[in-house]
Amino acid sequence: MRHYKKGRKLGTDSAHTKAIKKSLVGALFLNDRIKTVEARAKEIRPDVDRIITWAKKGDLHSRRLAIAQLGDAEIVREVFERVKQGQFADRNGGYTRILKLGKRKGDNSEIVIMELVTEPVKKATKKAAKTEPAKAKATKSAEKADKPAAKKATTAKKNDAAEKPAATKDTADTDKKAEKPAADTKADTADTKDEKKSE
């Protein structure tokens, strides 16, 4: 049983795991982005957050704690300077982001990109937060109101379509009737011509 053994093993003994974590955290602070296995990225996330929190405090004790954790005074100095300039001033945690790239070909491990979140936080105002649900409700009610009108329009179109074939039949009958008298008149004119010839 692994009582009081917190964290992932990462397939190594404890000293090697500690060295891996130090190396990855240092590489992340130097380059702002690293490509690694998902388990390692998730394992170093608390260490990164802890060092940035110490940098926000900015006192000597916090600096010494960060050097002890990271093992490199130069990287710690750089991190403290960046935080002092206001890099993570508006962010109260969540300093890292993990983006999944897919599985590695050899051992099918999940490969990720881990990066520091540098963009500022978008703060939502209270008025905007209140008006957004109201707008959503208004659009839903408008859609509900439009649905019966749309149904009426479609039923009216169907009724018109049903009436049109009957109307076309009626017009066809009238056309035939109109053609018959025209044929009769032609016959009448032919008869009158024959009568004139006989006379």
* 33 and 104 belong to one structural domain: yes
pTM: 0.60
> In DSSP terms, which residues pair with 34 in a beta bridge?
114
What are 142-191's pLDDT values in tens digits? 666 666 666 666 666 666 665 655 545 555 555 555 555 555 555 555 55
Asked whether residue 50 is assigned to any structural domain, the reply reads: yes
In 3D space, the residue among 58, 44, 37 whose CA is nearest the CA of residue 95 turns out to be: 44
* 146 and 172 belong to one structural domain: yes
Asked whether residue 49 is assigned to any structural domain, the reply reads: yes
* 144 and 98 belong to one structural domain: no
* 139 and 186 belong to one structural domain: yes
Among 116, 142, 160, the domain boundary falls at 116
What is the span of the domain harbouring residue 138? Answer: 124-199
CATH number where 22 lies: 3.90.1030.10
Mean pLDDT estimate for the chain: 80
Dihedral in degrees, nearest 10, Cα atoms 7, 13, 14, 16 = -110
Q: How far is CA 93 from CA 30, 90, 151, in A?
A: 20, 9, 51
